[in-house]
Amino acid sequence: PFDYAQDKPFDYAQGRPQGEAWTGYSGGHGAGRFDPYLADLLSREEKLRWEMESLRRELRLLEADEGPILRSRVELHSDQPQALARLAELSQAYEEVVERLRLVAPDWLEAHSATLFSMQALRRTAMAYLSVRWACLSYYVLGEMLVTFYLDTQRLTVHRRSLNAYDRLALRQCTYPAGEFRELIYRGTVRGHRAPGDPGRTYLQHLYRLLIPPEAEDLGEDNLLLIAPHGPLHGLAFQALLADEKPLVTRVPLTYVPSLSALQLLLRELAGNDSIRRVLACGLSDFGSQASSLPHTADEVTALREVLREQLNVLWGSEATREALLRLSDTEDLAGYDVIHFATHAVLDHLAPSQSRVLLADDSLTLADILNLRLRARMVVLSACEGAMGQQYPGDEIMGLARAFFLAGARTVVASLWSVEDVSTGEFMGRFYRRLGAGEGVAQALRAAQVEMAAEGYSPYQWAPFIAIGLP
């Protein structure tokens, strides 16, 4: 039995501020378009976006882990420092406009119709729509305090723990986004060379004990564990946490949710038929001066063809354009696809997070573009670099490319927590789609692909970054 005295604090914590920000973007397209203030904001957003894109092209600016870099075949011109300063100015102005849109978007997108979060309502909804035994873990990292909520059909328990210096160190090491840290923690190597002591194994075992409460220990492979991260935990691959020597995913399928209130809304919209009939794959291997090539994306798309056959439509190479996707959206054809798969680069823009984008043949599909797409997809797959990570707002879920697709109408997004090795991505996706084709759900198919690769000797660095966000 649950402790009713704990229900109200739980309802408040789940409803605000996490769910409030998510529902602020959810809703129909087109509401409020005649509001003069909103129209002005949208006009300014578009103008700033195109001005930044034009300036970025002139500078051939890309993002690296350590910040912006210039990629030019000529020496640095005298006017480029001024251009960089102008780009920073535009980026700041753009973020201010986006923040104002965040404030007015709830009215624009009719979020006033969303109800406040209720733990009892979530229980009823989950029991009605989820056919397996389930449990939820929702986290809050509040300074040096970790609060973990455990919820299932019968119990609600709250664990509070003060984070000591070692706890905080383990969290930093396992969530730090830099590529070399990811390689060290999840593969035990640095630039391909074996690191002494295997610190990642020790940290992942410690975080399992810190983050997975005893109530979740009896969940099995036929059950479902829902994870609602907070703060730095958005960057943690929970599936790779080690119970002794075994990754968590070998025991139970996992699905991430932006918040439990968001899960409640998604479950209410769950359709009776979740079959996958039509899939659109959009892929590139050559990006010119924009980014490094991805030679194995062709193999990835070939693997999809072998599994999906006539169910698959492909936009490849010069056909994989922003214009083509926006046209499909405008004609409502994009809404007819059950799965949309991107085999291309994703770029996180550190100067203007809301300008994060998917690289395509003619232009970039920006976060603002994605939010305006008309989707009814069961799933969007981003087999790109760091598609799940993005700007974090305090008390809110990540504002990344994955979340943008989610809010555009996708019910599940499969994305990556860090830059993924190109060859292993194709291998992973082939296994994942074969499981989907056999009738397994997203969470079960994802788990099966990860367990198979782990059993065959692939490191967590290769299989653990892929996560499912949303419905299982």
Terminal-residue alpha carbon distance, the chain: 26
* Of the listed ranges 119-123, 319-323, 394-398, the one predicted with least confidence: 394-398
393 neighbors 230 (Cβ within 8 angstroms): no
pLDDT of residue 325: 96
pLDDT of residue 405: 84
pLDDT of residue 109: 37
Q: Are residues 277 and 155 in the same domain?
A: no
Indicate if the pLDDT at residue 360 is higher than 90.
yes
344 neighbors 320 (Cβ within 8 angstroms): yes
pLDDT tens digit string along 41-54?
888 888 888 887 77
Domain boundary pick from 108, 142, 172: 108
pLDDT of residue 388: 53
- Token code pair at residue 8: 């109200």
Among 423, 399, 386, which Cα is nearest to 64's? 386
Q: Are residues 258 and 277 in the same domain?
A: no
pLDDT of residue 30: 42
pLDDT of residue 1: 34
State how far Cα 330 lies from the chain centre. 25
Q: Are residues 294 and 442 in the same domain?
A: yes
207 domain-assigned: yes
Among 308, 257, 278, which Cα is nearest to 377's? 278
Q: Check residues 118 and 320 and name the one with the higher pLDDT.
A: 320
11 domain-assigned: no
| Max Cα distance, the chain (Å) | 70
Q: Are residues 210 and 260 in the same domain?
A: yes
pLDDT band at residue 12 using 50, 70 and 90 as cut-offs: very low
Mean pLDDT of the chain: 79
> Residue 349: what are its φ and ψ, rounded to 5°?
-90, 110
pLDDT of residue 70: 46
Among 16, 11, 6, which Cα is nearest to 111's? 16
- Token code pair at residue 184: 């060290």
Among 277, 354, 308, which Cα is nearest to 92's? 354
8 domain-assigned: no
Q: What angle do CA 150, 156, 157 make, to 5 degrees?
A: 65
Q: Write the CA distances from 309 to 12, 60, 313, integer angstroms.
A: 47, 38, 9
Q: Are residues 77 and 200 in the same domain?
A: no
Q: Write the CA distances from 297 to 312, 316, 353, 453, integer angstroms.
A: 16, 10, 26, 19
> Residue 341: what are its φ and ψ, rounded to 5°?
-115, 125
Indicate if the pLDDT at residue 39 is higher than 50.
yes
Coil vs helix vs strand at 457: coil
Domain boundary pick from 236, 264, 292: 264
50 domain-assigned: yes
| DSSP structural state of residue 346 | E
Rounded to an integer, what distance in angstroms lies between the CA atom of residue 172 and that of residue 180?
Answer: 13
pLDDT of residue 22: 47
Rounded to an integer, what distance in angstroms lies between the CA atom of residue 469 and that of residue 254?
Answer: 9
Q: Are residues 428 and 304 in the same domain?
A: yes
pLDDT of residue 329: 95
Arithmetic mean of pLDDT, 300-313: 89
31 domain-assigned: no
pLDDT of residue 341: 95
Q: Are residues 255 and 189 in the same domain?
A: yes
Q: Check residues 273 and 17 and name the one with the higher pLDDT.
A: 273
pLDDT of residue 68: 46
For residue 313, give its domain range.
273-470
Q: Check residues 268 and 168 and name the one with the higher pLDDT.
A: 168
Q: Token pair 């550190």 is at which residue? A: 350
Q: Are residues 153 and 44 in the same domain?
A: no
Rounded to an integer, what distance in angstroms lies between the CA atom of residue 132 and that of residue 71?
Answer: 51
Q: Are residues 254 and 196 in the same domain?
A: yes
Q: Write the CA distances from 117 to 23, 34, 264, 267, integer angstroms.
A: 11, 30, 8, 13
Indicate if the pLDDT at residue 324 is higher than 70.
yes
Report percent pLDDT > 90 for the chain.
34
Return the number of other C-beta atoms located less than 10 Å from residue 52's C-beta: 22
Rounded to an integer, what distance in angstroms lies between the CA atom of residue 338 and that of residue 381?
Answer: 11
Q: Check residues 307 and 81 and name the one with the higher pLDDT.
A: 307
| DSSP structural state of residue 19 | I
pLDDT tens digit string along 230-247?
888 988 999 999 998 899
pLDDT band at residue 71 using 50, 70 and 90 as cut-offs: very low
Q: Are residues 285 and 197 in the same domain?
A: no
Q: Which range, 96-105, 341-350, 397-406, 424-433, has the best average confidence (pLDDT)?
A: 424-433
pLDDT tens digit string along 83-122?
767 877 887 788 778 777 766 654 443 333 344 567 778 8
219 domain-assigned: yes
Domain boundary pick from 85, 108, 131: 108
The domain that contains 316 carries what CATH number?
3.40.50.1460
Q: Check residues 227 and 71 and name the one with the higher pLDDT.
A: 227
- Token code pair at residue 103: 């404030």
Number of domains in the chain: 3
113 domain-assigned: no
Q: Are residues 201 and 278 in the same domain?
A: no
Rounded to an integer, what distance in angstroms lies between the CA atom of residue 252 and that of residue 259?
Answer: 20
22 domain-assigned: no
Q: Are residues 88 and 56 in the same domain?
A: yes
Q: Token pair 């328990």 is at which residue? A: 157
